């Protein structure tokens, strides 16, 4: 059985994490952020070193371990009952992040919508990332060059994922708006997808 899934999509700083944290509180929706899973790895986990190496340069961690991390989390949550695969919807944030990852997930996910949080103003995104660097002590947000690299990686590797799923699944939301207004637009799409 494929898992009913909605992708939270958008460049670094577009606000996926902010929206995901709120939406994950809605009954029936499970928010999984690959970045949060990576940051939560214990120091004894060898993948943690790999993550720090790649994320510190603003690059993507290799595909197989990234997919494996998310699949393991879905399995654990299914086992402990915090995710009911028959009835719940997955909200994936940060994954798939390139076309190869999307292909690796094609057998697992039934993607019913892609919420594309679109921020046309690069300066706003850079400001948000720098504010988060201070707030959350994130090394990959602290340095302007790393931020620029992540925005480049997004353009070159992640944006093509939109074409993989096609225009009919994509819902573009203007994420230059305030978080409340973005949330309103996101909820409108989620409500439509339920019908």
Is the CB of 41 or the CB of 195 nearer to ligand ADP? 41
The residue sitting closest to ligand ADP, measured at its beta carbon, is 35
Q: Which residues bind ligand ADP (CB under 6 A)?
A: 12, 34-35, 38, 54-55, 58-61, 66, 94-95, 97, 101, 140, 150
Is the CB of 59 or the CB of 88 nearer to ligand ADP? 59
Cα–Cα dist 19/140, whole Å: 20
| Residue 98 C-beta: closest distance to ligand ADP, Å | 7
Is the CB of 41 or the CB of 189 nearer to ligand ADP? 41
| Residue 137 C-beta: closest distance to ligand ADP, Å | 13
Is the CB of 12 or the CB of 113 nearer to ligand ADP? 12
Cα–Cα dist 161/63, whole Å: 14
DSSP of 107-169: TTEEEEEEEEEE---HHHHHHHHHHHHHHH--HHHH-HHHHHHHHHHIIIIITHHHHHH-GGG
Q: What backbone torsions phi and psi does residue 4 show, to the nearest 5 degrees?
A: -65, 125
| Residue 66 C-beta: closest distance to ligand ADP, Å | 4
| Residue 180 C-beta: closest distance to ligand ADP, Å | 21
């Amino acid at each position: 059985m494929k898992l009913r899934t909605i992708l939270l999509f958008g460049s670094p700083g577009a606000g996926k994490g902010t929206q995901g944290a709120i939406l994950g509180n809605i009954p029936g929706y499970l928010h999984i952020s690959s970045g949060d899973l990576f940051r939560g790895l214990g120091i004894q986990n060898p993948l943690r070193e790999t993550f720090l190496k790649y994320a510190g340069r603003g690059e993507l961690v290799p595909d197989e371990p990234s997919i494996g991390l998310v699949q393991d989390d879905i399995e654990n949550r299914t086992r402990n009952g915090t995710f009911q695969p028959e009835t719940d919807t997955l909200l994936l944030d940060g994954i798939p992040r390139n076309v190869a990852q999307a292909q690796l997930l094609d057998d697992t996910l039934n993607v019913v919508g892609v919420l594309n949080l679109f921020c046309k103003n690069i300066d706003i995104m850079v400001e948000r990332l720098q504010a988060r660097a201070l707030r959350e002590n994130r090394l990959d947000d602290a340095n302007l060059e790393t931020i620029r690299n992540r925005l480049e990686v997004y353009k070159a590797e992640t944006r093509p994922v939109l074409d993989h799923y096609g225009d009919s699944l994509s819902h573009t939301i203007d994420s230059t708006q305030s978080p409340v207004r973005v949330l309103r637009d996101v909820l409108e799409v989620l409500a439509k997808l339920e019908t």
